[in-house]
Amino acid sequence: MKGDKDEHFSEVMQVKTACEEWGFFQVLNHGVDLNVLENMEKLAKDFFMLPLHEKQKHPMAPGTVQGYGQAFVFSENQKLDWCNMFALGVEPSCIRNQNSGHRVRLTSVSLGLEGEVFEEMFGEAVQAARMNYYPPCSRPDLVLGLSPHSDGSALTVLQQGKDSTVGLQILKVQTWLPVQPIQNEFVINIGDTLEVLTNGKYKSVEHRAVTHKEKDRLSIVTFYAPSYKIELGPMPELVDEKNPCRYRRYNHGEYNKHYVTNELQGKRTLDFAKIQSNTSN
Ligand SMILES: O=C(O)CCC(=O)C(=O)O
Ligand SMILES: [Fe+2]
């Protein structure tokens, strides 16, 4: 029993360090059935290999990121990313949801809060999945797979396709660092919602995807976020004289709308919530 407790404590501490210093971590031995992951990957790959007219039967609806197409494109002058996307809502009962639930509980414990605090606050949590397919690109030096951005979610779970090349990069001290894919394991990152709730103690990290000259790449991304109905802002426990309130309260549905109707531009979307007198981070 003591062993279990020690293990749990060490896991919580690792999550705390990763969240404070990186905003990203990889989860090994996550317990999700590998068949489920393989099936998802196969379904996604099969979909992207369909002829264009078949894929276009499920077009991305304007002003949303749901369906097939390229999200976050708003002008003809915009430089396009080298990426095909297909996004959809996921049933709350989905097995991966349970996994995100576990991670979000660990995250709240690592902040010294009750494990269920975020889940209770989130109401009927939104779980959305996006599949990104990056075909080989003859000029990876000129074209990005996915422009720099932070995620609007609370937590994001990323699964990378089998034999994936390095594609994901995260920004750390103004340097883009590659995230080495580990087969069958998840990459988790903090999204804007957790940055706001923790009053900036945990930060959403800017990341992007690069392309490869010869190899294609698939990523399956699950965004775990609060219900669009809830109002949120920094948790009072994490605001004090030393850490004055950095973000205003807002409705998460409005934040989501703001997020999906703007270009991906680093962490610019979070300006929506920042209290302007305090924009140092
Ligand atoms: O493909 C990747 O590795 C990154 C995907 C991503 O950041 C996203 O879909 O938000
Ligand atoms: Fe992302």
ipTM of the complex: 0.99
pLDDT, position 1 = 57
Q: Whose CA is nearest to atom 3 of ligand 1?
A: 168
Ligand 1 pocket test target in 219, 220, 259 with most atoms within 8 Å of CB:
219
Please report whether residue 281 resides in a domain: no
* Of 134, 128, 44, 131, nearest in space to 80 by CA: 134
Please report whether residue 208 resides in a domain: yes
pLDDT tens digits in sequence order for the chain, 281 residues long: 566 777 778 888 988 999 999 999 888 888 888 898 899 899 999 999 999 999 999 998 877 888 998 888 888 888 889 999 998 877 655 544 456 667 777 788 888 888 889 888 999 888 889 999 999 999 999 999 999 999 999 999 999 888 888 899 999 999 999 999 888 889 999 999 999 999 999 999 999 999 999 999 999 999 999 999 999 999 999 999 999 999 999 999 999 999 999 989 999 999 999 997 644 55
Which two three-digit tokens encode residue 273?
Answer: 């919530």
Phi/psi at 35 (nearest 5 deg)?
A: -65, -35
Q: How far is CA 185 from the centre of its chain?
A: 15
pLDDT, position 274 = 96
User: How many domains are there within the chain?
Assistant: 1
Please report whether residue 129 resides in a domain: yes
pLDDT, position 95 = 44
Q: Residue 145 corresponds to which amino acid? A: G
CATH code for position 144: 2.60.120.330
Which residues have C-beta atoms less than 6 Å from ligand 1? Answer: 130, 132, 146, 151, 158, 167-168, 207, 209, 219, 221
DSSP-based three-state secondary structure for 162: coil
Name the residues around ion ligand 2, CB cutoff 5 A.
151
Please report whether residue 279 resides in a domain: no
250, exposed or middle or buried, with CB in 10 Å at 0-12, 13-18, 19+? middle
Ligand 2 centroid, distance to 150 Cα (angstroms): 6
Ligand 1 centroid, distance to 146 Cα (angstroms): 7
Ligand 2 centroid, distance to 240 Cα (angstroms): 31
Please report whether residue 245 resides in a domain: yes
Domain region containing 165: 2-272
Please report whether residue 277 resides in a domain: no
